Structure 1
Amino acid sequence: MEPVYLFNLIDQQKSWLSARQSVVAQNIVNADTPGYRAQDLMPFSRVMERGALDISGADPKHLRPSPVETLAAAIRPTEGWETTHSGNTVSPEFEMIKAGEVRGAFTLDTNLMRAFHGMWMSAVRA
């Protein structure tokens, strides 16, 4: 079993959240574009699972992309709540819900980092 690096994991999730926030913003910007299909990222847990299956290089000096670096492949069309006559599938209400989820996850990550940093500093001082 490999050790879990909490700070690294939170950093990867923050990168994923930033990418998801960009996709949500892109959806909102294109809310009136005829034929635009709303997009979203794969859930973070699935991105991490896919990253665990990457093939390692033959040479230890080869760099392996982190799971979050492969986010371009994780963008997928999403089913919106409605499709307009122009074929646009963006629902501003649904996008705002996703933006709220991103904000909540950023807040959770920040609070976790603050709590574990405080515990780490307490252990160092002791």
Structure 2
Amino acid sequence: MSSALTWIADCFTVHAESTVTVPSTPSNTESVSPKPDPSEEEEEPQESEDDKADDEEEEEEEEEEEEAEDQKPAIVEACESSKACAPLKHHFDECQERVLGHGGDDEHHENCVEEMFHLMHCVDQCMAPKLFAQLK
């Protein structure tokens, strides 16, 4: 059995005499860039005067087109003053005056979050059908 153990030990022992040559490869830090093949180089096509004129016309047309005005702020304002939302807007405004009137009073911890949510819910319900009807 000792000869078998010796044989196994010899298999896993690295001898100083044995050399292994590893081919050199570029490391991760070295940059390798292939040399461009002259036959693969592409020449930039020359634009004709017609193409340049077409491009200028397209740019002028784009400049002439104006962005459509956002309708949402006007609709929101109209909905805030509508019959359904006007009481909620009034209640929210009164709350804002109360909170801002107390200034930095430490004993006064009121905020108007609940009133704001009620108003915004009403405005959203009023605004949504009008806004989506105007979309193209």
Scaled to the shorter chain, the TM-score interval is under 0.3
Higher relative contact order (CA 8 A, sep 6+): 1
TM-score by length of 1: 0.27
User: Which structure has the larger Rg?
Assistant: 2
TM-score by length of 2: 0.25
